[in-house]
Amino acid sequence: MNLKPLFEKQQELRDRINYQGADRFEKLVLALLVEIGECANEWRGFKFWSTDQEPRTFAKTTNDPNGGFTIKNPLLEEYVDGLHFVLELGLEHEFDPDGLAIEELKFSSITRQFTALFQVDWDVYEEGQGGYYHEGLELYIGLGEMLGFTWKQVEAAYMEKNAVNHKRQEDGY
């Protein structure tokens, strides 16, 4: 897995947004927590009160300008939304994707993986440094594998969403 192209694309988006507020780091951490929660919501496996435990991996949308529909994977989309903020936090900490070996880190269950990510994201915030970042990155990559995504799928979905995010900046989103 090569993270460098994703970090480069994220840097381009970061440069375009160019938000320099003193609360930038705090907002990045919160954004990642929200995206992790949205991903968990699409996964649905923690919802013991519901008989519908199936992950949301298929949806048709009718927003095709040609009158047709498009097919999307809501779980993958939310995972990739979170990946944008994982990469953004890496840029914030000047993380060098070439400098360290990146492996997937996986706990015994997807539920535990999500809770570990919440904890590490909070630790990154509390410590205000990159000490926990490497672990969080590996946990996030591990989560993608546990959810059944290949790196090729993740990379393609990331590039697609990154293009959407650039378009949103163009349109004043």
Q: What is the mean pLDDT of the chain?
A: 91
37 found inside a domain: yes
Six-digit token pair at 74?
Answer: 């809501």
Q: Which two tokens stand for residue 37?
A: 């929660």
Residue 60 confidence (pLDDT) = 78
Tokens standing for 123?
A: 């630790």
Task: Give the β-pairing of 59-61 and 70-72.
Answer: antiparallel
Domain assignment of residue 64, yes or no:
yes
pLDDT above 90 as % of the chain: 68
The pLDDT value given to residue 129: 60
Task: Tell me how far apart the alpha carbons of residues 50 and 40 are, in angstroms, rounded to a whole number.
Answer: 14
Within a domain: 173: no
Token couple for 139: 């946990």
Beta bridge partners of 172: none
pLDDT at 128: 67
Q: CA angle, corner 30, sides to 8 and 155, nearest 5?
A: 30
pLDDT confidence band for 151 (50 / 70 / 90): very high
**pLDDT at position 68:** 75
Q: Per-residue confidence at 150, pLDDT binned at 50, 70, 90?
A: very high
Average pLDDT score over residue span 77-106: 91
Q: Is the pLDDT confidence value at 42 over 80? A: yes
List, in sequence order, every residue forming a beta bridge with 72; answer none if it has no partner.
59
**What one-letter code names the amino acid at 94?**
E
Give the pLDDT confidence score for residue 56 in this predicted structure: 95
Per-residue pLDDT tens digits for 47-69: 999 999 999 999 877 766 777 77
Query: Under a CB-based contact definition with an 8 Å cutoff, are residues 158 and 83 in contact?
Result: yes
Query: What gap in Å lies between CA 140 and CA 117, rounded to an integer?
Result: 7
Domain that holds residue 95: 4-168
| Eight-state DSSP code of residue 132 | G
**95-146 pLDDT per residue, tens:** 888 877 888 899 999 999 999 999 998 888 877 666 688 899 999 999 999 9
Angle at 93 between CA 91 and CA 95, to 5 degrees: 65
First-to-final CA distance of the chain: 32
- Cβ-based neighbours of 82, under 8 Å, separated by 6 or more: 32, 35, 36, 38, 39, 140
The number of folded domains in the chain is 1
Average pLDDT (19-40) is: 94
